[in-house]
Amino acid sequence: MRIAVLSGKGGTGKTTVSASLAASLESCQYIDCDVEEPNGYIFLKPELYQNISVKVLVPEIDVMKCNGCGKCSKVCQFNAIAVVKRKVLVFPEICHHCGACTIACPNDAIHEIEREIGIVEMNGDETFLHGKLNIGEPISIPIIQELKRHIKKDMPVILDCSPGASCTVVCSIEGCDYCILVTEPTPFGFHDLKIAVQLVRKMEIPFGVVVNKASDASKIIHEFCKNENIEILMEIPFSREIASAYSQGILPTHSSMEWKEKFRELYKKLERGAAK
Amino acid sequence: MKICISSKGNSLDSMLDSRFGRADYFIIVDTDTMEFESIENTAATSGGGAGITSGQMMVDRDIKAVITGNVGPNAMSVLKAADIDIYRGMAISVKENIESFKRGLLEKIEATVPAHSGLGINGGQK
């Protein structure tokens, strides 16, 4: 079963939930899809052996063949090419690697060259994977795609998504059997939860909500979920103890058996929810 | 000489838009005859590469100089490659900026501002 953990807002507790879940299950694969700032490794402490360089194809212009017609610039949907004085300027950071310019060129003057945008790291038996996007790179999808190429079929897979509800999240949750939406009972958390709900509904993936930092204010989340007929899977209380352990890289499941049991129960709920 | 001013509106009385790539309008003026044409900047709401497309627009229309507030790194590369001069306008009307330009009062812009400066609230969308 593939489980994606997402939430609109950063710092809500995606990694708390996904890493705790991974730590509670006997065998599972944990994939950190938050490639801009992966932090699952801080808690799960894997030994990373392999790394794969992730490359994308960007256009290079053969100046001998190019006559500066400008067709490549017109066809580029991402404004990554400008043609100035019959000279082609390519902006590789903006390029979305679609290859349209190569097809559009009537003189066969464009060929694609590889450019590294980040790496994927994994441990020996590929039960822990994360990607790292190079600093300054805006497009992380190819790294998530590379991560997803290593998904195991014989054990539960937990995907820790990036914050928001953007392309990266869509790419991460695509093909998953269940989504856990982590939220916190604040106006920001609630606002982003509603967006995340829209996203998973649109993608027709079964989902449930985990309320992190739960307090008296959780009422807003409960009311919303009741009205929308969404299952609340679990509540993690607003606790100084959990927060201070977390700041030292210790998950709730590391320090108490009780939490381990709770996360196992959560997994059972997910299995039931995904089967529906 | 054909110059272009980034503008918040579509007339000579409109205010200068301090953004280049994501300006609302471009006013193209022939400084000899004062005839002008306004173009809505379709690149202003694009997800990325607004500066590049806006720069390309200047090149395609054979503009000799641009008056604006700030220019980002990508737009600067395009304008530099095309030898288009960039002048820093003031937050006054387009017409007044042209007059200052004609009298040689405007300073040339050589430095860029960081990428995405013109995005502001709501990602530059109105």
For chain A, give the secondary structure using H, E and C.
CEEEEECCCCCCCHHHHHHHHHHHCCCCEEEECCCCCCCHHHHHCCCEEEEEEEEEEEEEECCCCCCCCCHHHHHCCCCCEEEECCEEEECCCCCCCCCHHHHHCCCCCEEEEEEEEEEEEEECCCCEEEEEECCCCCCCHHHHHHHHCCCCCCCCEEEECCCCCCHHHHHHHCCCCEEEEEECCCHHHHHHHHHHHHHHHHCCCCEEEEEEEECHHHHHHHHHHHHHCCCEEEEEECCHHHHHHHHCCCCHHHHCHHHHHHHHHHHHHHHHHHHC
Q: Give this prediction's pTM.
A: 0.82
Average pLDDT over residues A173-180: 95
What tens digit of pLDDT does each residue of B51-107 get? 999 999 999 999 999 999 999 999 999 999 999 999 999 999 999 999 999 999 999
CB contact under 8 A, B55 and A82: yes
Yes or no, beta carbons of B48 and A85 under 8 Å apart: no
Nearest CA to CA, how far is A79 from chain B (Å)?
5
A–B interface: beta-carbon pairs under 8 A: 47
Of A73, A79, A85, the CB nearest to B43: A79
The tokens for A3 are 């489980």
Nearest residue on chain B to A74, alpha-carbon basis: B53
Checking if the pLDDT of B40 tops 80, the result is: yes
Whether the predicted pLDDT of A169 surpasses 50:
yes
Average of pLDDT values for A31-55? 94
Tell whether B43 lies on the interface with A, counting CB pairs under 8 A: yes
Chain A residue numbers touching B58 (CB-CB < 8 A):
none
- pLDDT bin (cut points 50, 70, 90) of residue B12 is very high
pLDDT the model gives residue B121: 59
Query: Which of A50-59, A127-136, B45-54 is least confident?
Result: B45-54
Supply the pLDDT for residue B17: 94
Nearest chain A residue (CA) to B77: A89
Mean pLDDT score of chain B, rounded to an integer? 90
Whether B115 shows a pLDDT value over 90: the answer reads no
Alpha-carbon distance of B67 to B117, in angstroms, equals 17
Residue B47, pLDDT above cutoff 90: no
Q: Which residues of chain A are within 8 Å of residue B77 when distances are taken between CB atoms?
A: 89, 91
A84 touches chain B (CB under 8 A): yes
Q: Which residues of B touch A73 (CB under 8 A)?
A: 56
Predicted confidence (pLDDT) per residue in A229-274, tens digit: 999 999 999 989 899 999 999 998 988 889 999 999 999 999 888 8
Are B59 and A83 an interchain contact pair (Cβ–Cβ within 8 Å)? Answer: yes
Q: Is residue A195 over pLDDT 80?
A: yes
Mutation target vs B (from A71, A79, A98; most B CBs, 10 A cutoff): A79
Instruction: For residues B4-24, give the mean pLDDT.
Output: 94
Closest chain A CA to residue B53: A79
**Is 90 exceeded by the pLDDT of residue A8?**
no
Q: Looking at the complex, does the CB of residue A89 fall below 8 Å from at least one CB of chain B?
A: yes
Asked if B49 lies within 8 A of A94 by C-beta distance, the reply is yes
Whether residue A146 contacts residue A131, with contact meaning beta carbons closer than 8 Å, is answered with yes
